[in-house]
Amino acid sequence: MSQLFTPFSLGPLTLPNRIVIAPMCQYSAVDGIASDWHLMHLGNLAMSGAGLLIIEATAVEPRGRISPADLGLWSDAGAAALGKILDAIRRYSPMPIALQLAHAGRKASTAAPWDGGQLLDSTGGGWPTVAPSPLPFMPDDPPPLELSPADMAHIERCFVSAAQRAQQIGVDAIEIHAAHGYLLHQFLSPLANVGNDEFGGSLENRMRFPLAVFAAMRAAVSERIPIGVRISATDWVAGGWDVEQSIVFANELKARGCAYIHVSSGGLSPQQKIPLGPNYQVPLAAAIRAGCGLATVAVGLITEAEAAEAIVAEGRADLVAIARGILYDPRWPWHAAAKLGARVEAPRQYWRCQPRELKELFGDIRFRQR
């Protein structure tokens, strides 16, 4: 039996298989409000047969957007638009859906990637950025505004409000974005957080604000909604955030009720040296899984069904996340099931596409062919 296609539980939420669609920014919202593109994009992915779909990084306040076109959940209008899309998807797909909540910090206020990705000033639709320390991401960028305790309390409330809106529109799980150099990662890394107050300096202090955000969100939403955290396990820069610190952080999250750790890497410093290659982040996920015992999601250039199967079967991670690979092949889970001799969910409208040699792919299907 394929281990990739066995069920897995994140607390009260049971996934039909171990394939996760990772959150991928679409830069297609207007003032944070989801567009028709999101209906098409998410609807397409919801027919893929994956075990969990995570909606892209969704800003908890306007200045927390990566770009002006980022999705947001700081307003009732944003919640209503996204809720309408979820309702439409769920009429046709039983796939569990999670939402990633984020704040970009000093990496906010940039153009969309296809427009150059550069930092935007006020004349180009940008805004002042914020961070734990007044250190810019790129050397030539203006420094971000250093957050005060009052500012941090405001951002914590923004995360809580967004989580409550996510619950109201019916998401099945929530993921906190503490990776890729965004605000919570900036607090964690000694390369971005050089303060000497209660939120900087020691590892205990650098973890304080991200842990407070998690705890506040966990207390604000129903226990039936698991909350996980995406981290960068290493900055890939000497003297920065690393696997050992990630394990400490993961254990602190576990003690506060975290459901899973989604293990990525990098994004904090342009000095990073990432050894790109197939499955290059899987050893990071395996180390963190061994070090904390939390359910762990591996991601990063996992493109082959056989590789995903081995990761789960060998206990290196509990779940495997696919990102750009599923944009290229939106039926990746179907094809993985075919290779591994497993069954997968598919919409009834597509049952007739099942190849004759794979007549068991979509399970026990009974319908009259005319």
The reply to whether 27 belongs to the active site is no
Residue 115 has pLDDT above 90, yes or no: yes
Quote the pLDDT of residue 13. 98
Tens of pLDDT, residues 285-303: 999 999 999 999 999 999 9
Q: Measured between alpha carbons, how far is 312 from 315 in angstroms, rounded to an integer?
A: 5
Quote the pLDDT of residue 369. 47
Residue 173 β-bridge partners: 98
Residue written as tokens 């026990």?
364
Residue 208 has pLDDT above 50, yes or no: yes
Phi-psi region of 56 (alpha: psi -120 to 50; beta: other; left: phi over 0): beta
Domains located in the chain, CATH noted: 8-358 (3.20.20.70)
Q: Which of 27, 92, 182, 280 is catalytic?
A: 182
Three-state secondary-structure class, residue 156: helix
Quote the pLDDT of residue 359. 82
Quote the pLDDT of residue 357. 87
Share of the chain above pLDDT 90, in %: 94
Tens of pLDDT, residues 237-254: 999 999 999 999 999 999
Tens of pLDDT, residues 126-181: 999 999 999 999 999 999 999 999 999 999 999 999 999 999 999 999 999 999 99
Element (H, E) at 248: helix 243-255
How much is the mean pLDDT over the chain? 96
Q: Measured between alpha carbons, how far is 46 from 90 in angstroms, rounded to an integer?
A: 9
If pLDDT is split at 50, 70 and 90, which confidence band does 370 have? Answer: very low
Q: How many C-alpha atoms does 170 have within 13 Å on its Cβ side?
A: 14
If pLDDT is split at 50, 70 and 90, which confidence band does 363 have? Answer: low
Quote the pLDDT of residue 100. 99
| Single pTM value for the model | 0.96
Share of the chain above pLDDT 70, in %: 98
Query: Could you report how far apart the first and last alpha carbons of the chain are, in Å?
Result: 34
Quote the pLDDT of residue 222. 98
Tokens of 287: 């180390």
Of the candidates 264, 99, 253, 257, the residue with the CA atom closest to the CA atom of residue 181: 264
Q: Measured between alpha carbons, how far is 312 from 152 in angstroms, rounded to an integer?
A: 38
Quote the pLDDT of residue 356. 84
| DSSP code per residue over 304-335 | -HHHHHHHHHTTS-SEEEESHHHHH-TTHHHH
Tokens of 30: 């207007």
If pLDDT is split at 50, 70 and 90, which confidence band does 364 have? Answer: low
Residue 367 has pLDDT above 50, yes or no: no
Tokens of 156: 């914590």
Tens of pLDDT, residues 308-353: 999 999 999 999 999 999 999 999 999 999 999 999 999 999 988 9
Tens of pLDDT, residues 62-97: 999 999 999 999 999 999 999 999 999 999 999 999
